[in-house]
Amino acid sequence: METLIIVIFILGYLAITLEHNLKLDKLIPALGMMAILWALVAFGIDNFMNWFNSAEHKLIDGFANFTSDDKHHLLEETLLHHLGKTAEILFFLLGAMTIVEIIDYFDGFATFKNYIKTKNKKKLLWIFAALAFILSAIIDNLTATIVLITILQKIINDKNTRLWFAGLIIIAANAGGAWSPIGDVTTTMLWIGKKVTTLKLMEYLIIPSLLCVIIPVFIASYMKPFKGNLDFNDSEVETPQNKHGAIMLYLGLSAIIFVPIFKTVTHLPPYVGMMLSLAVVGIFAEIYSRSQFNISHVVDIEGDDSQGFHSPVHKSLSKIEMPSVLFFFGILMAVAALESLGMLFIGAEHLKTIIPNTDVVIMLLGVGSAVVDNVPLVAASMGMFQEPIDSHLWHFVAYSAGTGGSMLIIGSAAGVVAMGMEKINFFWYFKNIAWLAAIGFVAGALAFMFLRNF
């Protein structure tokens, strides 16, 4: 039965990795794999020799001698435990995604266009890299990439020049997401999973993440595509049309930043603070949209019965990427099935025997995240390693998984969305950007290994 479970997981993983070739959204194999794995666990529960206690991070002694009823009861408890932990991540992401959509509803991100006052390509590269690095740490690397490439499309007419800028934005966005607990899905997983704390994550990863972006951008700034000036008019850089855009931008970003502070003060799970932030942002959004609403519908003050569609909160919720949320649910619960059977724990022990140097293992995880999705890789590492909270291992996992994906265009959510928005060719990125990303990744990794000794 264990062999069949592993085969199903590998097949599901391959289907996720090859989603573009199969033309099948990755949420489908993720959900299917999750359901089949837990069904197989339920059918074979009486024959399994090991069971992993996720709460205590150890194998349960004498599990093979448990009665069938005890094993099924333990299965139900374990499934409920993993569902709760997964739900914490999903509701956190739903809250953050809704706040971002509310900001976009008021055209708040257009405010960033006001920072662009130069036509010099080199200066513009540094501006976009800085914005990507900072913005991705607050609203996540995927959204930051979408926002900045949208701005790129408004101010740069030449397609080839835009491709180069987009490539460096991907590197900067992934690096920026690695040092923040809310900057990348995998970092959020580690944070909510109580593997890292906000202050220690920032302390240990801010310098490696900076090097990961500064070195590639510095090298690129002397390359031909970033020499000379852009051909655009100052009038093309428009100010936000919505008068509340800037206010909602700063309010929304402040609300997201508030979440780690709320967790530190109250010791409540992060999704609670995110729900509070969403409520506050939602109140101002409704006020600024001049609408009143009740539980059934929205009625505009001017008399238009909009049936909920003119409410910024309702509108933003309708734009949430539910396929991504369902994918995270499927893959996290699928990995949880392997963890519950003790496969990840036992596999980690064998891996430590084969490759004693943990740093090498984690760097390989970073390289692997460029080829396959980093969410299941990090989920697996959380089940494999049992180091305490804020161990250097977890910070290195956050860095490697967050920045390693930049080495291939398909290796990160930021890369995939940029690929779609700008029609970036896989081999063009591999030829022109991958080596810059690899240099940044290695430089940041070496910096981390050096700094952790102090």
Q: What does the DSSP assignment read for 364-407?
A: HHHHHTTTS-HHHHHHHHHHH--PPTT-HHHHHHHHHHHHHGGG
pLDDT digits (tens, 9 = 90+) for 72-86: 999 999 999 889 988
Tokens of residue 275, six digits: 């729900």
Q: DSSP for 414-437?
A: HHHHHHHHHT--HHHHHHHTHHHH
The b-or-e profile of 383-417 (16+ CB within 10 A means b, else e) is bbbeeeebebbbbbbbbbbbbbbbbbbbbbbbbbb
Among the listed ranges 60-64, 109-113, 155-159, 239-243, which one has the minimum average pLDDT value? Answer: 239-243
Asked if the structure places residue 40 within a domain, the reply is: no
pLDDT at residue 299 greater than cutoff 50: no
Q: Is residue 99 part of a domain?
A: yes
Between β-strands 58-59 and 291-293, what pairing exists: parallel, antiparallel or unpaired? unpaired
Considering the domain boundaries, does residue 36 fall inside one?
Answer: no
Mean pLDDT across 162-176: 93
pTM: 0.76
State CA 306 to chain mean position distance.
Answer: 34
Structural domain including 121 reads 67-229+242-293+311-452
Q: Please give the pLDDT value at position 295.
A: 40
Is 304 inside any structural domain? no
Question: For residue 373, what pLDDT is reported?
Answer: 66
What burial class does residue 47 get, using C-beta atoms within 10 Å of its C-beta: 0-12 exposed, 13-18 middle, 19+ buried? exposed
Domain assignment present for 429: yes
23: left (phi over 0), alpha (psi -120 to 50) or beta: left
Q: Is residue 378 part of a domain?
A: yes
- Look at residue 324 and tell me whether its pLDDT is greater than 60: yes
On whether residue 59 sits in a domain, the answer given is no
Q: How many CA atoms lie within 13 A of 127 on its CB side?
A: 18
Confidence at residue 290, expressed as pLDDT on a 0 to 100 scale:
65
Of 406, 408, 417, residue with least CA distance to 147:
417
Local structure of 297: helix, strand or coil = coil
For residue 359, is it within any domain?
A: yes
Q: Which regions of 276-330 does DSSP assign to beta strands (E)? A: 291-293, 298-300
State both tokens at 448. 């981390």
Number of domains in the chain: 1
Question: Is the confidence at residue 329, as pLDDT, over 70?
Answer: yes
